[in-house]
Structure 1
Amino acid sequence: MTSPPNSLTLHKGRVLIVDDEADLANTLSRALALEGHAVTTLVDGAAAVEEVAREAPDVLLLDIRLQGASGLDVLAQVKAIRPELEVIMMTGYATVDSAVAAMKAGAFNYLKKPFENLQHVLFTVTKALERKSLLNRTRQLEEELQDRFQFSNVIGVSLKMKEIFKKIRRLAYNESNVLIQGESGTGKEFIARAIHYNSPRRNQNFIPLDCGALPEGVIASELFGHVPGSFTGAKTTTQGLFRVADRGTVFLDEIGELPLEVQVKLLRVLQEREVRPVGSATPVKVDIRIIAATNCNLEDAVHRGVFRQDLYYRLKVVSLDLPPLRERREDITPLVHHFIRKYASEASRAKDIDAAALRLLSRYDWPGNVREVENCIESAMAMARGETLGVENLPDALMEHVRPTVSATPSGGLSLKAYEKYAIVQALTLCDGDVLRGAHMLGIGKSTLYRKMKTHQIAPRAFLESEKPRI
């Protein structure tokens, strides 16, 4: 039997009650319906299993003793069908053994009948629904995270990046340690996460650590854990990141900043697959994959004696060298469009970028690499008022670096007048004859640019017709 919820409230959850005591079941049903839940009551275990398979309730209130069936058997069956179902066991014959058996079989809670306080039952159902909602949200976030780091989201059309793609696809299916080298902002952590979330370890922890961000006296404890009394202030046992990441992946960013004494301990982890907490003589086995990254030359660090050679080769089982963006300019355009899609929202009307702005972005060297591209587009999207990003939306700091520069002597010689004309022509060429954008690029007002164009006999229409003026 199904009880309708209070018409003034939304369904908080779908609750199935399975109990052969009709009066108790009806009392529970009415109380839950008044709380806004959609409630169904049954008396038969087999019917309950069919209902769970067909309707997928959120919470099941299940009597441990049913006519012709054991509630524990029904619990096992419904959990096999829907592991996410929260089950609250009810019984008038409560024993420690039955409670333990129910909890081991996956029950959320265990209630004794007759209920002394109906509000306690309602509270328990609410907590079960909250737990289910939290688990659903966690599962959704995990799926979104895995989707985000799919290989298809690693952006690049250049030959260099295509070679990187081939390597990381192969790396996803083995357990080799990986060393990723590249300038700041090239996407080292993104690549590390892509390897992890496409590997058999995808459902386990990915633990990142910036080795240069922690004081020298703290990093060993952070990685390997510690026991009470191992140093001043160590009052409790700490597992350390390697043990927290057991069966998962540890990402050690800026590995070149690791102190030499910690490098020795890390080498033992790689060789023996065990960690020894600070202050302890007892090693603990761990099953982890290590991906390290650096923006410095580790080989040079080995020669200078600040990085262990044996650790270097242990980490560099497979090496990925991420090229800076200035060496793969063909990737700038797809990256720009990717970040426009990422930041397109109701708050920003912009959905595209015009050719002039895109040409400017393609000319810039991007010392901050992919991270700087993302920051630039996010900033431009925040300030845009139209549906297309233009030169006027680009950050001023970037414009300072891409304003036209004289790369060759203009035909008019070395006079200031010749250079001025040359700069104006370059700006208007980049902006397809758009005077407002050209003025913005040159750092002058629109009326000033018109006046200078008249002086130099430069016509905007010439650029629209792709006829470059003589300079």
Structure 2
Amino acid sequence: MNTGIRGTVLLVDDEPMIRTATEKWLQMAGLDVISTRNAEEALPYLQEDFHGILLTDVKMPGMSGLELMKATHERIPDLPVILITGHGDIDMAIQAMRDGAYDFIEKPFVPERLVETLLRACDKRRLMMENHRLQTDIAARSGLDAKIIGISPAIQRMKRELLAAADMDTNVIIYGETGSGKELVAQSLHEFSERKQKRFVPINCGAIPEHLIESELFGHEAGAFTGAAKRRIGKFEHADGGTLFLDEIESTPAHLQIKILRALQEGRIERLGSNQSIAVDIRVIAASKADLREDEHFRQDLYYRLNVSQLFLPPLRERPEDIALLFMHYVNQAASERDKASRQLSQHDERILQSHQWPGNVRELKNIAIRFALDNRVSLADLIHGQSSNIGFDDLEYKPLPLAIQVAAFEEEIIKRSLERHQGNIKAVMDELDLPRRTLNQKMAKFGVNRSDYIE
């Protein structure tokens, strides 16, 4: 829509003079007008992405205005349709409004009233289009939010960039530390792209022996080398029409980088032992732990071929808001899969989660969450640090946790023991610990300690 335009009107009228005069009135009012002589000419404009409204005469040769309205609403149910009717058509126009017309204008009409009606309809259509856009966006983001868990600014920014890159159908490099979820991001790029109906084919370039990786990528014919008993389709060919994910691309041998570059440039590959060139249509998503521009062993021409878009996946330690959320997601998932009740985190557990640096990122967190979910006897601190989490009077030599965590846990243990001794009597606990009521309440709330748990 052009700047300053107040809306778009598709005008349908078989009378040239009336059509021309109406078009000029509407244009003077700031409306963009598409003018047609009959309903048949108007139909091609009436697609789902049409952002305007329909103004049509009722009585026309061929398809009538009422028939056009019905055909329009079959295509775009909520598109406003204004009917131009003759004096004797009022009953019919009222029935048309019951059938879904936005309004009707009786001939001869006052231009100002017509413009006022059309502007209201344009505003309604604009609001409908905006709501539809928001709903579509929310649906896409809801799907992505269910796949990539996180509310931190860093991960939200990455998800916005992911959705934008998914629509572009260009090669992408994903940067992220080990265990940060690069393959999950690559899968999401595929699933939110136009290639989602085709295959997503992952391969870890660093996990395959150098003498086998060329065959894995490009395939081979029977007898191409010792042990090649039959033809094998490579990952490039297998991913035709879809997405090929090259994880740890920085591990690719130099001689193979040349072949990958040629395949991307030409859109064709050759199996080992074959002279036949095979066309492939793929999107390549590569992933690396380090900046490929700084890698002297990585070909710069291949880097620029891959680096059409970039996504940077933040490490877990840089998204603290997501740690407990992710942890409980995996705990609930593991418990549900095994039909177990889900364990809950205490505030002490949450502090332990936040204090850990997570060098293994999401992969490490997921492994610990699954073990936490399946064994009620083991503490979270034990899983993370390999020692008991029961920090109390006899545990002053406990070292792995930061001092602030140890002090808080020690405080929590003292309050719990006092509540237990006095069977939940708050006054007795206040006297024993020499704490004001407000301070004790604050600490109990901080540690998630409930007096009712200690009343017998």
Same fold (TM over 0.5): yes
Aligned equivalents of 1:155, 1:331: Cα separation in 2? 7
Unaligned runs of 5+ in 1: 1-145, 386-391, 405-416, 439-457
* C-alpha deviation, 1:465, in angstroms: 3.8
Do 1:428 and 1:435's aligned partners in 2 also have CA atoms closer than 8 Å? no
- Counterpart of 1:195 in structure 2: which amino acid? L
Residue-by-residue CA offset, 1:194-239 (whole Å, 9 max, x unaligned)? 1111212112111110101111111111111112332223232222
Residue-by-residue CA offset, 1:242-264 (whole Å, 9 max, x unaligned)? 11111111111110010011100
Do 2:151 and 2:322's aligned partners in 1 also have CA atoms closer than 8 Å? yes
Aligned pair 1:356/2:348, yes or no?
yes
Aligned equivalents of 1:271, 1:193: Cα separation in 2? 23
Aligned pair 1:252/2:249, yes or no?
no
Counterpart of 1:69? none
Counterpart of 1:300? 294
Residue-by-residue CA offset, 1:428-449 (whole Å, 9 max, x unaligned)? 52476135999xxxxxxxxxxx
Do 1:325 and 1:370's aligned partners in 2 also have CA atoms closer than 8 Å? yes
Counterpart of 1:373? 365
Aligned equivalents of 2:161, 2:369: Cα separation in 1? 29
Aligned equivalents of 1:214, 1:460: Cα separation in 2? 65
* C-alpha deviation, 1:423, in angstroms: 8.4
SS in 2 for 1:209: strand
Aligned equivalents of 2:306, 2:343: Cα separation in 1? 43
Aligned equivalents of 2:384, 2:434: Cα separation in 1? 25
- Counterpart of 2:301 in structure 1: which amino acid? D
Identity in percent: 37
Counterpart of 1:64? none
SS in 1 for 2:167: coil
The structure with higher relative contact order (CA 8 Å, sep 6+) is 2
Residue-by-residue CA offset, 1:123-170 (whole Å, 9 max, x unaligned)? xxxxxxxxxxxxxxxxxxxxxxx9997443211212111111111111
Residue-by-residue CA offset, 1:390-424 (whole Å, 9 max, x unaligned)? xx6215251359989xxxxxxxxxxxx9999x988
Do 1:149 and 1:190's aligned partners in 2 also have CA atoms closer than 8 Å? no
Counterpart of 1:243? 237
Residue 182 and residue 423 in structure 1: after superposition, are their counterparts in 2 closer, same or farther (change >3 A)? closer
Counterpart of 2:258? 264
* C-alpha deviation, 1:327, in angstroms: 1.4
The one of 213, 219, 227 equivalent to 1:219 is 213
- Counterpart of 1:244 in structure 2: which amino acid? H
* C-alpha deviation, 1:297, in angstroms: 3.0
- Counterpart of 2:246 in structure 1: which amino acid? L
The one of 172, 180, 185 equivalent to 1:186 is 180
Alignment length (residue pairs):
286
Counterpart of 1:274? 268
SS in 2 for 1:434: helix
- Counterpart of 2:268 in structure 1: which amino acid? E
Aligned equivalents of 2:260, 2:369: Cα separation in 1? 39
Counterpart of 1:434? 413
The one of 379, 404, 409 equivalent to 1:393 is 379
Output aligned runs, 1:23-42, within 5 Å. Answer: none
Residue 355 and residue 234 in structure 1: after superposition, are their counterparts in 2 closer, same or farther (change >3 A)? same
Do 1:359 and 1:430's aligned partners in 2 also have CA atoms closer than 8 Å? no
The one of 174, 177, 190 equivalent to 1:196 is 190
SS in 1 for 2:311: strand
Counterpart of 1:451? none
- Counterpart of 2:367 in structure 1: which amino acid? N
Select between 223-232 and 162-171 the one with higher mean Cα deviation: 223-232
Do 2:190 and 2:200's aligned partners in 1 also have CA atoms closer than 8 Å? yes
- Counterpart of 2:264 in structure 1: which amino acid? L
Aligned equivalents of 1:231, 1:426: Cα separation in 2? 60
TM-score of the two chains, using structure 2 as the length reference:
0.56
Aligned equivalents of 2:285, 2:343: Cα separation in 1? 36
TM-score of the two chains, using structure 1 as the length reference:
0.54
* C-alpha deviation, 1:337, in angstroms: 2.4
RMSD: 3.8
The one of 313, 335, 339 equivalent to 2:326 is 335
The one of 191, 202, 227 equivalent to 1:208 is 202
The one of 138, 147, 157 equivalent to 1:153 is 147
Aligned equivalents of 1:370, 1:460: Cα separation in 2? 43
Aligned equivalents of 1:202, 1:366: Cα separation in 2? 32
Aligned equivalents of 1:367, 1:342: Cα separation in 2? 23
The one of 330, 335, 340 equivalent to 1:344 is 335
- Counterpart of 2:344 in structure 1: which amino acid? D
Select between 257-266 and 170-179 the one with higher mean Cα deviation: 170-179
The one of 282, 285, 305 equivalent to 2:279 is 285
Output aligned runs, 1:5-20, within 5 Å. Answer: none
Residue-by-residue CA offset, 1:350-395 (whole Å, 9 max, x unaligned)? 243221111110111111111111111111111126xxxxxx6215
SS in 1 for 2:183: helix
Residue 151 and residue 265 in structure 1: after superposition, are their counterparts in 2 closer, same or farther (change >3 A)? farther
Residue 424 and residue 151 in structure 1: after superposition, are their counterparts in 2 closer, same or farther (change >3 A)? closer
SS in 2 for 1:267: helix
Counterpart of 1:319? 310
Unaligned runs of 5+ in 2: 1-139, 391-395, 418-431, 445-456
